[in-house]
Structure 1
Amino acid sequence: MTHPITFISHALCPYVQRIAIALNEKGVTSERVTIDLANKPDWFLAISPLGRTPVLTVGNATLFESAAILEYLEETQPGPLHPADPAERARHRAWIGFGSECLNDITGFYTAPDLGTLERKAAALHVRFRVMEGQLDPGLWFAGARFSLVDAVFAPVFRYFDTFDRIGDFGVFDSLDGIAAWRRSLAGRPSVRNAVTAEYDELLFDFLCRQGGALSQMIEHSRTTFRQSA
């Protein structure tokens, strides 16, 4: 018996996007429910121990934490996105963890209180991506010809920079041709495009404006130009 799947999400959460991409790639039907994490419903708090998205309900079971959800989908759904070889699968899991560290760095970037900190955070991201570039196989995706969960994890990482690039040139991808090509390939993937709504860019822009740090100040200085380019 196939249990109905409900996917509880937030409009901007990059960890939610991972799950959306994996569900799409596997052709899994689910009901997507989007909540406001600034005003969490009581029913959500009752099923999410950490009060965060994503959450997946499968029949009577409730799953939280994106890594656990991705592994559940790998174990129960067709269309594997992990490599078959155990050592290579473990390597992919490690780089998924590296992707989460990149997201932490991105948070530090957009919350940087001053320009000096912002520049240091951008430089740290450049170092992260330079390390990542050395791991890319030849081809469109992380593992070359085959789309994997590492791709699903890094697509939301790169999506932030579609917005950041319209604010300023921070040099994060300078001389990283492999990363730039991977980023373009991911941006064109249907599962990646469909992981967010049409309002995503505007919602992210407004979110960044509210952070009150150096990036917010840069946006305010060029607000009209930025909105016209969005």
Structure 2
Amino acid sequence: MSSLTLISHLLCPYVQRAAIALAEKGVPFEKIYIDLKAKPDWFLKISPLGKVPLLMVPQAHGSEAILFESSVIAEYIDESQPGPRLHPDDALTRARHRGFMEYGSSILADIWGLETTRDATVFEEKRKALIDKFGRVEDVLGDGPYFAGSKFSLVDAVFAPVFRYFDTFDEITDLGIFASYPKISAWRKALAARPSVQEAVTPGYRQLLREFLKKYDAYMLTLAS
């Protein structure tokens, strides 16, 4: 049976979640990149929402099953593939982790507003919203280095792409979002050092993100020192 195939976009944080989960499980996979501004017909035929990621899972007789939605894909990878479990065994703890995975998605929504707005007022609203949301995460973190302590989990796979944005943002300006959050700062550093996280994007990711900001004429760029 051939390997799994991950349909991707170069900047998509949701794709990174799946790529990280696959790498953590040691699963070989092929990655196919598409342009979301010019979605190919074959992609639109298999993607119910017209979004990435998609995971193409080989089946018998040469057919393929298509999975969509990053959290669904990540959980399928965890449940179906050998290697260390990335979700807790305890049902209550697992449900709590799923909640924080969704919380990570809500943070991504605010990051989208932060990086695409041309308006100073909207930018500040998003910056303050992110400070508040990360503060709630700071309150639940333990001694680390990961969300659940020493064990890497799917929550880490969700937040690693979140923190990756700030590697580029920090080169532009000091947003001050993590200034009062030592646990998050340590978590961010630990995730950045993880090979699965480093390999989830192409080497040109930071430049591509800068080009994205320029395309939107982002207010953030006016703050560059």
Range class of TM-score, shorter chain: over 0.9
Determine which of 96, 102, 108 is the counterpart of 1:103.
108
Q: Please state if 1:44 is matched with 2:43.
A: yes
> What TM-score results when the alignment is normalised by the length of structure 2?
0.94
Q: Pick one of 74, 78, 81 that aligns with 1:74.
A: 78
Contact 1:48-1:64 at 8 Å conserved across structures: yes
Correspondence list, 1:193-204, <5 A: 193-204=198-209
Q: Which runs of 5+ in 2 are unaligned?
A: 59-63
Please give the alpha-carbon distance, in whole angstroms, between the structure 1 residues aligned to 2:109 and 2:23. 25
Superposed CA offset, 1:26-50 (max 9, x none): 0111111111111111111111111
Q: Per-residue displacement from partner, 1:176-195 (whole Å, max 9, x unpaired)?
A: 11100100000110000000
Distance (Å, rounded) in 1 between the aligned partners of 2:175 and 2:119: 14
State the Cα distance separating 1:95 from its structure 2 match: 0.3
Offset of 1:113 from its aligned partner?
2.7
Q: Which runs of 5+ in 1 are unaligned?
A: 223-230
Deviation at 1:3, TM superposition (A): 5.5
Helix, strand or coil at the partner of 1:39: coil
Q: Percent identity?
A: 54
Alpha-carbon deviations, 1:114-171, whole Å to 9, x = none? 2222122111101110100111121210001000000000000000001111111111
Amino acid paired to 1:198: P
Matching residue of 1:191: 196
Q: Tell me which residue corresponds to 2:145.
A: 140
Alignment of structure 1 residues 128-167 onto 2, 5 Å: 128-167=133-172
State the aligned residue count: 219
The TM-score, its normalising length taken from structure 1, stands at 0.92
Structure 1 vs Structure 2 CA RMSD: 1.3
Matches of 1:211 and 1:24, distance apart in 2: 32
